[in-house]
Amino acid sequence: MTERGQAVESFGNKTYVVIWLCLLALTAATVAAAKLRFTDYAVIAAVGIATVKAGLVTTFFMHLRQEPLIIKIILFLVLAALMLIIGLTFSDVWFRYR
Amino acid sequence: MPAAELSENKAGHRVDYTGAKMGMWIFILTEILLFGMLFLLYSIFRFRYSPEFHSSATEMDLFLGTANTAILLTSSLTMAISIEAIRKGNKGLSMLCQFLTLVFGAVFLVNKYMEWGAHISHGIYPHSPQMEQMGRGKIMFYSLYYVMTGLHGLHVILGVFVIAGMLVFTARGVVNRHDFVKIENTGLYWHFVDIVWIYLFPLFYLIA
């Protein structure tokens, strides 16, 4: 890309393949972990691993690091808002039906 | 946006790279909220009907689900490689990888079709007589399953068509090493669709 202000550097194909292998490994880990324990904590671990995978895809495949700061800010704000909405609603349900 | 970032492409149209990327990111934000609210519904009903959700999850096809996860992750890889290729001007590799991404997306949809077909043949589909007799928790599980994987599947179908369009653009040179923001945005959309599945997979298949 030759426009001014546009980051020319990007991750190479080798990096992409390494990240892809990490993603596959994390998927295998999630499936294995799910078969070991059936408790609710397994769900938290599964979602946690999923978040790590999503973070890898966002950082490396979506080049979030190279985007302008404003995009990182609004993405963070939306995710924070989502966490807040889900967290508060869920805690409301939890206390209501406990 | 600084004026120097505006330039003209070959056809003389104004090109605003930062604006284009920002547009797609903002669209992705709206999609995050859309799917996020469905995940909120999932979390509430999963909490209310925990045992039914656990038992219903055993009826999911773990192999197909895992295969679909691997397929979408690989399609993200080919998508990223295709963008890297056109960035370097390698039109052939880029088109090949776009085509592979398409194929992976299509295979995902075929798997989904088989999965849904199996459930439907067992009489589990919205408003079926069998479903009406299930307990409330199981109904909620399958409702959420159909809506969330269905909405996701629609996004995959749309993505496949857009990537096909990008393939044509790349072939014609509309997408080239100097102006490839269209395919970058397509990549952003496709990676987002992948991320949604990354969350859908453990919540429906791995909670048995």
CB-closest option in B36, B77, B208 to A82: B36
Closest CA to B86 of B206, B207, B172: B172
Residue B116 lies in a domain: yes
CB-closest option in A2, A53, A89 to B44: A89
CA–CA gap between residue B21 and residue B4 (Å, rounded): 16
ipTM value of the model? 0.87
Residue B141 lies in a domain: yes
| pLDDT tens track for B40-76 | 999 899 888 988 898 888 889 999 999 999 999 999 9
Q: pLDDT tens, position by position, for chain A (98 residues)?
A: 444 444 456 788 899 999 999 999 999 998 888 877 666 677 788 888 999 999 999 999 998 888 889 999 999 999 999 999 998 998 888 888 76
pLDDT at A65: 86
Return residues 7-26 of A near B (CB < 8 Å): 10-13, 16-17, 19-20, 23-24
DSSP label of B10: T
Q: In the predicted model, what is the mean pLDDT of chain B?
A: 90
Dihedral sign computed on CA atoms, order B19, A83, B52, B131 = negative
The 3-state DSSP class for residue B178 equals coil
How many domains, in total, are found in chain B? 1
pLDDT at B133: 86
CA–CA gap between residue B162 and residue A78 (Å, rounded): 26
CATH of the domain at B163: 1.20.120.80
Could you list the residue range(s) of the whole structural domain that residue B78 is in? Answer: 20-205
Question: Residue A19: closest CA among chain B residues belongs to which residue?
Answer: B77
> Does B175 have pLDDT greater than 80?
yes
Dihedral sign computed on CA atoms, order B191, B26, B24, B160 = positive
Domain ranges of chain A: 1-67, 68-98
| pLDDT tens track for B126-163 | 888 888 888 889 999 999 999 999 999 999 999 999 99
Residue B15 lies in a domain: no
Residue B9 lies in a domain: no
Residue B50 lies in a domain: yes
Question: Residue A51: closest CA among chain B residues belongs to which residue?
Answer: B199
> Does B197 have pLDDT greater than 90?
yes
Is B147 at the interface with chain A, CB within 8 A?
no
